[in-house]
Chains A and B, each alone.
Chain A
Amino acid sequence: MVSRPRIEKMSAEVVDSNPYSRLMALQRMGIVQDYERIRQFSVMIVGVGGVGSVAAEMLTRCGIGKLLLYDYDKVELANMNRLFYQPHQAGLTKVEAAAETLKFINPDVIIEPYNMNITKIDSFPLFMDKIRTGNKDNSGPVDLVLSCVDNFGARMTINTACNELDQTWMESGVSENAVSGHIQLIVPGRSACFACAPPLIMASNVDESTLKREGVCAASLPTTMGIVAGFLVQNTLKYLLKFGRVSNYLGYNALDDHFLLLALKPNEDCDDSYCRKRQLEQQSNPTVVEENPQPTQTEVTHESNEWGIELVSDSVDVPNENTVDRSHIELASSSSGTVSLDQVKYQYVPKAKCNPQIDTSDNETSAASTARDEDLSIEDLMAQMKRM
């Protein structure tokens, strides 16, 4: 298959052969002021699995300037319950398979695949360097980092890098039971970072004990992953092209079709020293957050309600042990009439609020023995380990 020739300038001309005509129409309709600006932006996507690959495809079809893709996994037939990858790509690294597909879809987009595990000590400096210099012409930072990873360690790694580099990023996630997800905008110093509090999860009206079934690590649905990817890219477009309201935190529960919008404030006692540093910078030099200009739209009036459609409240009464710290959270809105923080909870009880989970009362002796060994060098201790 041969990909189409590259297009130098985006055109608004409405012809069948113009892949950008419907995107440029956003300008004519007053939604976006200058759509072609999208070609100047560079977005890094970390994790090109169920959410990341779909997000990458959406941004590619939107004509983004440059995509930097990070993953260290291979495509497997087990991934075929999700979108994007195809059976013939099994065995390829995800980033090379994605790059091949995306370049074919839109050759105007610069695609840079990086097959590496960012959590490893030797990969991390390279990852940091790309955030710092990965814009379209490699002269400055990327415009946005999208986290589409599926584990705590990788999220924390992205968080660490972005706090250090003062880099805005968006985090996304889908629950292990595949029926809820979220996206979150993180602006260092201005909103809660990933280390400020335990991760928030949408409380689904399901007995939590049923979520970990025998012999299963995680379930996944192409629907939930596609929806979360859609929210993530929609938020990305609004952020980059400055239209609409950029969501701070958007939660989605598929079982009840419930949506929740939150604003998360940073924790001044955050474990991440760079997060605390960014907060102080914000306090001494606060950035004014401008609302994106809202286009004037004609209100649609419905004369009759032939189908008897009515709006119903979908609030659910979920017991919530890991109650969120209300001082750090503002409810923006919810898809239900009543807005309640019971619809979201921490993944686990925050450190400050809980008693130690292990009994360490008899630990004084072992702690003392550790102190007595202070004079031994690392080499001595390593040798001792080997001899055991």
Chain B
Amino acid sequence: MVDEVTKKTLSNIPLLKTKASPRDGEQWRQRLKEELQALIQYVKNNKEADNDWFRLESNQEGTRWWGKAWTIQDMLRYEFDIEFDIPVTYPMSAPEIAIPDLDGKTAKMYRGGKICMTDHFQPLWARNVPRFGIAHALALGLGPWLAVEIPDLIARGIVVHKEKTASTTTADGSSSTK
């Protein structure tokens, strides 16, 4: 099942109470509040553990989310844009997190750059409706995916650090894909 580190991370993210989707008006505003509180707490936890690895923001309605996720490999920071929509049937259905830059670069991905979750994700999510939210999807889905896939993509030369590509040297430590 889920490894101990992920289990501990999950247990420190506040659980959500309101079962509501963006179609549910005022209830959704309450859910959105809980989502933001959980995300803020998760980022704080990550910073305290010296493991800060993403930033997120959303539109006014909280239905469309985007931001950046990064991973450190060989002392270099590889940064990627991330995005997802809140599905109509949320929180019954989890959000499908996408990394558009990596679309078509790995088999562990669906079209549009949507990451392919492990076998454990869907059952765990389904059993924890409505307690799990966006922060849990990141901790249980995106985090482990990046940890497994990015080192492999770097090793295969598919993801290259921008400082290593002379044509696209940038001040920030972002990455480019071949």
Contacts and interface: CB of A to CB of B under 8 A. Distances in A.
Given A124-B88, A217-B109, A378 B32 contact: yes
Interface string A368-388: 011001101010011011101
A366 to B, nearest CB: 4
A150 B44 CA distance: 36
Contacts of A381: 33, 36-37, 40
Contacts of A271: 92, 129
A360 B136 CA distance: 13
Contact of A160 (B39, B88, B122): B88
Interface string A257-290: 0000000000000010000000000000000000
Interface stretch (A53-61, A237-245, A348-356): A348-356
Nearest to B123: A348
Given A119-B87, A153-B87, A215-B107, A382 B57 contact: yes
Given A198-B126, A357-B1, A357-B128, A385 B57 contact: yes
A21 interface: no
Interface string B1-41: 11000010011111100000011000001001110111111
Contacts of B122: 152, 347-348
A120 B98 CA distance: 14
A370 B14 contact: yes
Interface string B84-124: 01111100111010000000001111110000101100111
A349 B127 contact: yes
B108 A217 contact: yes
A216 interface: yes
B15 A363 contact: yes
A359 B110 contact: no
B43 interface: yes
A386 B36 CA distance: 11
B62 interface: yes
Interface residues of B, number: 54
Contact of B89 (A74, A157, A360, A382): A157
Contacts of B55: 388
Contacts of B57: 382, 385-386
B12 A378 contact: no
Nearest to B38: A370
Given A152-B93, A157-B93, A370-B37, A357 B127 contact: yes
A73 B111 CA distance: 8
A388 B48 CA distance: 13
Contacts of B62: 378
B56 interface: yes
A358 interface: yes
Contact of A347 (B33, B63, B116, B123): B123
A384 B13 contact: no
Contacts of A301: none
B157 to A, nearest CB: 16
Nearest to A161: B88
Interface in A330-372: 347-349, 351, 354, 356-363, 366-367, 369-370
Given A118-B88, A153-B94, A370-B38, 4 more contacts: A74-B111, A348-B127, A363-B14, A370-B34
8 closest A-B pairs by beta carbon, nearest first, are A348-B123, A381-B36, A153-B93, A366-B14, A156-B89, A370-B14, A215-B107, A119-B87
Interface of A: 73-74, 76, 118-121, 124, 151-153, 156-157, 159-160, 195, 198, 212, 215-217, 271, 347-349, 351, 354, 356-363, 366-367, 369-370, 373-374, 376, 378, 381-382, 384-386, 388
Interface of B: 1-2, 7, 10-15, 22-23, 29, 32-34, 36-41, 43-44, 55-58, 62-63, 85-89, 92-94, 96, 106-111, 116, 118-119, 122-124, 126-129
11 contacts: A73-B111, A124-B88, A198-B123, A217-B108, A347-B122, A351-B129, A357-B127, A366-B41, A370-B38, A370-B41, A382-B57
